[in-house]
Amino acid sequence: MKKILITGARSGIARALIERLKKKDYIIYASTHTNKEANILKRIYKDYDNVIPFKLDMKDTEDIKAINSLEIDILFCNASMNNAGNLIEMDIDKLKENYEVNVFGTMTLIQYFLKNNINKNGKVIIMSSLSGIIPLKFIGGYSSTKASLIKIAETLKMELSMLGSEIKVCLIEPGLYYTGFNEYMFMQKSSKSSYFDKVINIMKLEEYVISNILSKRNLDSIVNKIESAIRSNNPRFIYRAPFIDVLVSKLYSIVKG
């Protein structure tokens, strides 16, 4: 059985993926930020011996080192921190926390995985976002970490190819989905501001449109892409969904250029 580690498995896209894979031929190590979250997953999946929840704090190097005791074939780096706010006033410590989890924690985890697997077949699947391509107001701190992950994935793919490694690198770039994750970010952006008080109603309208009209409720389109990356012997490098968001990102790249 292939063994896959999924970080940030508490909810959202990762949970939908676990639901998809739990009856298939995989051992799933489902990591969460806290022991409390891991215990909730243990209760949910108590009838599935192949789903193994545990705590993995992406800011805790000792937690990350613990993966050395696991035999992992596929690493799915999904965990993210979503502190939001306008870049003019955003607390730098909150911005640093985004990078500590989304970039440095992810990169540390990847390095530990590669030390154990660089001469084997395996996959590193990195969850980025189309927000790393299309800038969105008031979540620049988060989006910039996702842009960093895109470049990390591109460079990692080239470096592993130079070594002749059989490790495959895949980049997942979802658009807007209603998972609770994006909604939390948008809620933060409406907090008290010294500069944006006069446009607070516009901000709330944008938040409503994104959360309630543009965001997709059904996660199948992106989960299908991730499952394809996991199951394929020769996966593509980039997987994106939903279609409309992907089209908008391509148009943005053309116009920007």
DSSP string, 227-242: HHHHH-SS--SEEEE-
H or E element that contains 168: strand 167-174
Longest dimension (CA), the chain: 57
Provide the 8-state DSSP code for 224.
Answer: H
d(CA 82, CA 199): 23
pLDDT in tens, 100-135: 999 999 999 999 999 989 989 999 999 999 999 998
pLDDT recorded at residue 64:
93
Predicted TM-score of the model (pTM): 0.92
Does residue 193 register a pLDDT over 90?
A: no
Q: Is the pLDDT of residue 186 over 70?
A: no
Query: What is the reported pLDDT for 187?
Result: 58
| Residue 209 confidence (pLDDT) above 60 | yes
Is 55 a residue whose pLDDT tops 90?
Answer: yes
Q: How much is the CA Rg of the chain, to the nearest whole Å?
A: 18
With vertex at residue 87, the alpha carbon angle to CA 85 and CA 92, rounded to the nearest 5 degrees, is 85
pLDDT of residue 233: 94
pLDDT of res. 178: 81
Say how far apart CA 114 and CA 112 lie, in whole Å.
Answer: 5
CA-based nearest residue to 226, from 236, 216, 218: 236
Confidence of residue 202 (pLDDT cuts 50, 70, 90): confident
The candidate with the shortest Cα–Cα distance to 140, out of 89, 69, 178, 179, is 89
**Helices 200-209, 181-189: crossing angle, 10 deg rounding:** 170
* Domains delineated in the chain: 2-177+218-250 (3.40.50.720)
Letter string b/e over residues 2-27, b meaning 16 or more CB atoms within 10 A of that residue's CB = bbbbbbbbbebbbbbbbebbbeeebb
Helix/strand/coil for 55? strand
Check pLDDT > 90 for residue 189: no
What is the pLDDT confidence band of residue 183, given thresholds at 50, 70 and 90?
Answer: low
Determine the residue type at 108. Answer: T
Q: How confident is the model at residue 39 (pLDDT cuts 50, 70, 90)?
A: very high
Task: Decide: 85 and 94 in contact? Cβ < 8 Å.
Answer: yes
